[in-house]
Amino acid sequence: MLLQTPLEMTITQNRPFPNYSFHFKLKLKIKNYLPILLPMDTIPFETFAAVDLRVGLVTHAEPVPDSKKLIKLTVDFSSEQRTILAGMAQYYDPEDFINKKFGFVFNLAPKSMAGIESQGMMLAADNGDSPILWPIPDDAQVGSKIR
């Protein structure tokens, strides 16, 4: 889970003791903050094993009309070609994807975005400011499973 909102917290504790009292107040306000990476809940291995990750070759990429975020990718998985939308238009040009191999979630349920059905999800690293492309080496076969 990525926390991307400013954090403001106040803790007040009053404890009277025989000779003194203790007052603790902490106020933390972050305006220009860095994202805080929080650990996610663990999942059983069987749940992870149900995710089908595959190598795909992007054969075509174009911006999605009327969208500032989406790039429409045509991805070859050897057995079939799929349309996959990637929310990376703010960070990358469509040409950055063409003729390159990437990891994809192959068995994700289709989702319609901007009137186009996306048939999977591209894997990328997230440094909090922007996605980082994660290209697959050329010697990996298109359509092969990622384990």
User: What is the pLDDT at residue 26?
Assistant: 45
User: What is the pLDDT at residue 18?
Assistant: 52
The CA R_g of the chain, rounded to the nearest whole Å, is 22
Tell me how far apart the alpha carbons of residues 85 and 72 are, in angstroms, rounded to a whole number: 5
DSSP-derived secondary structure for 14-55 = EEE-SS-EEEEEEEEE-SS---EE-PPPP--HHHHHTS-EEE
> Which residue ranges in the chain fall short of pLDDT 70?
1-38
Tell me how far apart the alpha carbons of residues 5 and 12 are, in angstroms, rounded to a whole number: 22
Strands of the chain (E only): list them.
2-3, 8-16, 21-29, 36-37, 53-63, 71-76, 81-86, 101-105, 111-113, 116-118, 121-122, 124-126, 131-133
Torsion of CA 35, 37, 38, 41, to 10 degrees: 130
SS3 state of residue 117? strand
Could you give the domains of the chain? Answer: 2-37 (no CATH), 46-133 (2.40.50.140)
User: What is the pLDDT at residue 32?
Assistant: 46
- Tens-place pLDDT, residues 12-54: 445 555 554 444 444 445 444 445 556 778 999 999 999 999 9
